[in-house]
Structure 1
Amino acid sequence: MGRPLDLAGLSRFGFLTLNSYSMIAVSNAIEVLRMANRVTRENAYEWDILTQSGEPAVASNGLMLYPTVAPDKDRAYDIIFVCGGINVRAASSSSLRNFLRVQARQDVVLGALCTGTFTLAEAGLLRGYRCAIHWENLSAIREEFPEIDITDDMFVIDRDRLTCTGGSVPLDMMLRIVAARFRREHVQAVAAQFILERNRTGSEAQPVFPLADAPAPLMRAMRLIERNLDQPLRISGIAAEAGLSVRQLERLFRRHADCTPAVYLVGVRLERARRLLQQTSMSITNISLACGFVSPAHFSTAYRGRFGCAPRDERRLRPSTARVNTCLSL
């Protein structure tokens, strides 16, 4: 195990934007650095927007950030964030992976925003690390990289790797970096500028199907389901783990999710299966097992009943680039 990262020592940031990157994730991260400089009246942080060619990359919203520069051996960074979005597999390349490996050998801290985690994983730079990625990509990346500890946390800082789910969460992660260098009142002043009611911790779980104002016992039950889809689950066991009776659990599900726990469980299994069909090359048999169905035939029947087509047809009709290519927080 390496030493903990000195977050206070990070001052020069590179944001390596891939084609179709998530602009909201990148801009949120940069804005915290800008506001920290303003609030503290120091030039504490510097940053560049990078692309491999030096030409601006087009974000998923069709816009571009200027100016951009190509990585240069004469421009050193304390940390480089790989900034992904949709079609991240297509945006990756062998030259990109080699560049990141070189940076790692030179002891540059590496990070990822949104689906940039996939690129670091593909480059072999996350083995032995905990990391985070947007919830819509969790299932696919866990299946493809079983040797990596991929959590459902908002963001993860594990030694010299910082990974973040995307959307608004980079605000919280970057505030953690600012807090390592400046006094509490400075951090609070930065948060106040962005009208943040509270700073989320990295260890907060991102639920696969967020429900507004869901009580804690219901959230515990939902997370238990989401984390154990490949296991046989009984409603009575789920209720017990959540500290509820079966009747209480059913009442909470009907009130907040408008369905029974059993219907919710099957729905989560099928939604995960759909993402695996769209984002991976796993066989239909393996997908059915990974999602907790007793047989491929049972899986196919349930899938057709929910989505109106067989799993085989879902895969046949998908775009060829639809692997690990989605991020809702764009």
Structure 2
Amino acid sequence: MMQKVSRIGFVLLPGFAMMSCSSALEPLRAANILAGEELYGWRLLSLDGAPVVASNRLRVEVDGALDDVEGLDTIIVCAGGNPAEFDDARLWRWLRAVARRGLTLGGVSAGPYLLARAGVLDGYRATVHWEHAAAFAEEFTRVELRSSLFEADRNRLTCAGGVAALDMMHHVIGEAHGFALARAVGDWFLQAHVRPGEGEQRLGLPERLGVRNARLERIIDMMESRIESPATREELAQAAQISLRQIDRLFAEHLGMGAEAYYQNIRLTRARELLRQTNLPITEVAMATGFSSASHFSRAYRRKYARAPREERV
């Protein structure tokens, strides 16, 4: 018996991440070839039916505009760059209308951010690229944000982006047509290890820092998890089971700076993400990143970035 063809529309937005989009689309082509029949069909859509320029500046022709959704079962939004800068009321209305029709909605890379802005992820589990996670959590409190590679919650698919879309499509194909076919697709793309959805998005601390020191890792873990209410030196020392005097020695030896300076850099990096990707008032950004006052925050921000926080939004 011939299986029903699943038809997927990929909505390409200006500056979309080519790698994420390709990683979501190419497994469908491979599944068709390996199954010996058409299991999947797809169309590329843009806001107005015009070609779209990707993040790598390649110009991509599409098959139609947003209203060309007849016969589609799933819509996947492909975006990139800073999604906070994208604002198109047509897209929000269209996504809500598609959701009301019961289609499966997905997003890769910055796509989940835009789905959340349209309100179609409220009450769902979702993930987004780690670069956008802090801003996402602040703005979309009705979405259950996870730090996973991908999430499949009922008729919502969200993926952090990059090659994680391959892992997501392994899950999608496996659920629909069996994991023998999904594994064959993985082999086709030399995907020797398929990661589960709950896998980590980023390298572990030793790989990111180029340092292997268990005490240092425990301290930085605590720092990264305590942004809004920074841990005290005593708490950091207790986490690593070292003395207060040893903390700065540990950071100076391995990272070339003191613990306080390193911690402030973590918080200022988060603040910059919030300034660029949300409309939170500067005083709220200061509070969300553990600064006691807006003036203290502004001074620290200017020292690090040679510009005032308000200039990030000019």
Q: Shorter-chain-normalised TM-score: which range? A: 0.7 to 0.9
- Does the aligned pair in 1 maintain the 2:82–2:110 contact within 8 Å? no
Deviation at 1:287, TM superposition (A): 1.0
Unaligned runs of 5+ in 2: none
Instruction: Output the CA distance in 2 between the equivalents of 1:32 and 1:259.
Output: 45
- Does the aligned pair in 1 maintain the 2:230–2:290 contact within 8 Å? yes
Deviation at 1:266, TM superposition (A): 1.7
Deviation at 1:306, TM superposition (A): 1.9
Alignment partner, residue 58 of structure 1: 53
Partner amino acid, structure 2, of 1:282? L
Alignment partner, residue 284 of structure 2: 286
Instruction: Output the CA distance in 2 between the equivalents of 1:232 and 1:82.
Output: 36
Alignment partner, residue 199 of structure 1: 194
The 1:184–1:209 alpha-carbon spacing in structure 2 relative to 1, beyond 3 Å, is closer
- Does the aligned pair in 2 maintain the 1:21–1:86 contact within 8 Å? yes
Instruction: Output the CA distance in 2 between the equivalents of 1:291 and 1:168.
Output: 30
Instruction: Output the CA distance in 2 between the equivalents of 1:233 and 1:59.
Output: 41
Alignment match of 1:75 (pick from 65, 70, 74): 70
- Does the aligned pair in 2 maintain the 1:236–1:246 contact within 8 Å? no
- Does the aligned pair in 2 maintain the 1:19–1:91 contact within 8 Å? no
Instruction: Output the CA distance in 2 between the equivalents of 1:57 and 1:51.
Output: 7
Work out the percentage of aligned pairs sharing the same amino acid.
Answer: 36
Deviation at 1:23, TM superposition (A): 1.1
Alignment partner, residue 272 of structure 1: 270
Asked if residue 245 in structure 1 is aligned to residue 228 in structure 2, the reply is no
Instruction: Output the CA distance in 2 between the equivalents of 1:169 and 1:120.
Output: 18
Q: TM-score, normalised by structure 1?
A: 0.81
- Does the aligned pair in 2 maintain the 1:20–1:87 contact within 8 Å? no
Deviation at 1:271, TM superposition (A): 0.2
Instruction: Output the CA distance in 2 between the equivalents of 1:205 and 1:160.
Output: 23
Instruction: Output the CA distance in 2 between the equivalents of 1:229 and 1:86.
Output: 24
Alignment partner, residue 126 of structure 1: 121
- Does the aligned pair in 2 maintain the 1:235–1:246 contact within 8 Å? no
Matches within 5 A, 1:147-226: 147-207=142-202, 212=207, 222-226=220-224
Q: Secondary structure at the match of 1:304?
A: helix
The structure whose Rg is larger is 2
Deviating more after overlay: 9-18 vs 251-260 = 251-260
The 1:173–1:53 alpha-carbon spacing in structure 2 relative to 1, beyond 3 Å, is same
Identify the structure with bigger relative contact order (alpha carbons < 8 Å, sequence gap 6+). Answer: 1
Instruction: Output the CA distance in 1 between the equivalents of 2:58 and 2:152.
Output: 29
